[in-house]
């Protein structure tokens, strides 16, 4: 139960950070874009769109339904790569995603990169 609460708090903070960076969108991308089979939907979505319209809703569904959360997750390396040219501006977002990775998987996928 505690893990669900921590995960929910982190998702809230990730959503707020996306919003404060001006990356939160009010319009959903076309359905076809959301059906991408590529990791992080890199062929159809920007990374922040994937967070907002794919990862975050899936995680909320798992939390709300008290379903098992993923035990192997590593989104923060993609966040760091995606925002590599604007690291300072996106540092807080990357850190929140990193905390989410660590919470669920128990390991820090960025530990070798820092």
Residue 57 within a domain: no
Residue 22 within a domain: no
Q: What is the pLDDT of residue 114?
A: 46
Domain count for the chain, please give it.
1
Token output for 77: 């390396």
Residue 11 within a domain: no
* Domain enclosing residue 69, as ranges: 65-114
The separation between CA 73 and the C-alpha centre of its own chain, rounded to angstroms, equals: 10
100/82 Cα distance (integer angstroms): 17
Residue 80 within a domain: yes
Residue 44's pLDDT band (boundaries 50, 70, 90)? very high
Residue 10 within a domain: no
Q: What is the pLDDT of residue 60?
A: 98
Residue 111's pLDDT band (boundaries 50, 70, 90)? confident
Residue 70 within a domain: yes
Residue 6 within a domain: no
Residue 83 within a domain: yes
Q: What's this model's pTM, rounded to 2 decimal places?
A: 0.93
28/100 Cα distance (integer angstroms): 24
CB atoms within 10 A of CB 63: 16
Token output for 38: 């590529």
Q: How does pLDDT run across 80-101, given as a tens digit for each residue?
A: 999 999 999 999 999 999 999 9
112/36 Cα distance (integer angstroms): 29
């Amino acid at each position: 139960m505690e893990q669900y609460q921590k995960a929910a708090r982190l998702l809230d903070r990730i959503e707020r950070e996306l919003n404060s960076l001006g990356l939160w969108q009010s319009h959903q991308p076309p359905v076809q874009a959301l059906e991408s089979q590529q990791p992080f939907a890199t062929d159809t979505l920007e990374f922040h769109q994937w967070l907002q319209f794919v990862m975050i809703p899936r995680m909320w569904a798992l939390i709300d339904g008290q379903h098992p959360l993923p035990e192997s997750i590593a989104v923060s390396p993609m966040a760091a790569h995606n925002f590599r040219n604007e690291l300072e501006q996106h540092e807080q977002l990357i850190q929140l995603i990193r905390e989410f990775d660590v919470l669920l998987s128990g390991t820090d996928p960025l530990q070798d990169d820092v």
